[in-house]
Amino acid sequence: MAQHPPSWAFDGPDDPPASPRTMRNLRKIRSHQVLTTSSALIAQTQSSRSSGARATETGSAVTTGSVTARTPTHRRTRSNSDAAARAAALAATAPAQRRPARKTGSGIGIKRSLLENLLRDGPHNGKTSEGLQELKYLVLSCRVDADGDGMSPYRIYLWLVLLNIPPVPTDDYLALIHRGRSPAYAKIRNDTFRTLATDPLFKRRVTEASLIRLLNAVAWKLHDSKVKPRSKSRPSSSRRLEMELLINTPPRIEEESEEPGSSNSATVNETAMYVQGMNVLCAPFLYAARSEVEAYALFHYFVTKECPGYIRGAMDGVHKGLRLVDRCLEVVDPKLAAHLFSKGMHAELYAFPSVLTFCACTPPLPEVLHLWDFLFAYGTHLNIVCIVAQLLRMRDSLLESDNPNKILRNLPPLDAEKIIALTVLLAPKIPADLYAEMVSHAK
């Protein structure tokens, strides 16, 4: 038990000076008291942290006015110089912890969605038609897994499947790039620098150089489809064939750099190599694709199979689509249509970019990708109804405004989920003959 120093240890002011031996004994006693008190406090703290467990070496008994030690002997505490060695020894003897399982999903989560599973594993029992219908239903019922930027590891493959596009060899795309500038190159360069210029997500992922390459490659592909194949009796090298194509280019192709509607525009029956707006239409493909080859396959198929009427010299398909917007609006909401028409607001004044680019001109880009999932699954012609749905979501403000042009000058940001839901409700209201025109207007 710790002993307090005796009363004679504290010298009074009149006492004679203590001898060296007496002072040494006094220091020992005081040091012993300090060490005993510190050990008792440490033991008390450890005891409270371990929920009442007793300390093995030191303990504490705190009483009123005194602190006592329960250990009969006092040992020197271990220094921390060998702490690293002790930790290594404990780690060697402790059982190894099992590492967490690696995620096997798409990166969004450990479990894959039904849509991703069907896309990866294919249809059950090899029934392609039933599997495609199920895939379309899943696109409508559950959203494609994507991050905040709209990026999904399997969206581009979903598009390729829905549009039934076979793989394109990389060498075919590279061959088009190595041919250099197409006759439409100058016009392409006039548009690419302002493609979605205010969208930071697009600018961070897609470069202007990739836009130029892709549009120029598609222009060469469309150019080759115009030129009749030469006789096979005289084989020529690829370089010689390229020179012959440049020399034999019809004058109308060189004149396609003029604005649509001018006297030098291409004829209605001829597909242009490039028209203004193709750069914006190409942008979502490049943003969602994992490579330029995938974007090239999708974009070339899209403009030649889904909407060839949109890239003709006079863009007759786009103008048909604008007239269909007015007619569909008259069917689903006659009051709103009459109000807009009375103010001179026809679709040609406000809906031209939305029809031409399939709403890709309206931010945000992740919502555009979600809307395109729906359009590729159930038909790109439904873009007409999607534009009408956007007007209906603005119905109150349009009816209250005496100048709806200010409101329609810039459409509000896309909300793909609400637009799709409203489109599904509006589509059955459209008469069969009008719906048939809508299906074929872009061909």
Domain map (residue ranges) of the chain: 7-68, 114-162, 170-304, 316-440
Q: What is the pLDDT of residues 72-124, one digit of tens each?
A: 444 544 444 454 555 555 555 554 454 444 344 444 444 678 888 888 888 87
Decide which of 246 and 303 is more confident: 303
What does pTM read for this prediction?
0.68
Mean pLDDT of 258-269: 38
pLDDT tens per residue across span 178-221: 999 999 999 999 999 999 999 999 999 999 999 999 999 999 99
* CA atoms in the 13 A half-sphere facing the CB of 242: 14
Note the pLDDT of residue 228.
56
CATH number for the 316-440 domain, one of 1.10.472.80, 3.60.150.10, 2.60.40.1120, 1.10.1240.10? 1.10.472.80
Residue whose C-alpha is closest to residue 218's, from 182, 262, 244, 246:
182
Residue 26 pLDDT greater than 60, yes or no? yes
Which pLDDT score, from 0 to 100, does residue 55 have?
41
**Of the candidates 19, 18, 38, 40, which has an alpha carbon nearest to the alpha carbon of residue 30?**
38
- Tell me the backbone φ, ψ of residue 19, rounded to 5 degrees: -75, 160
Across the range 223-238, mean pLDDT stands at: 58
Residue percentage of the chain with pLDDT more than 90: 57
User: How large a percentage of the chain has pLDDT more than 70?
Assistant: 65
Distance CA(321)–CA(387), nearest Å, equals 10
pLDDT for residue 236: 42
Band (313; pLDDT cuts 50, 70, 90): confident
Q: What is the pLDDT of residue 17?
A: 53
d(CA 361, CA 411): 10
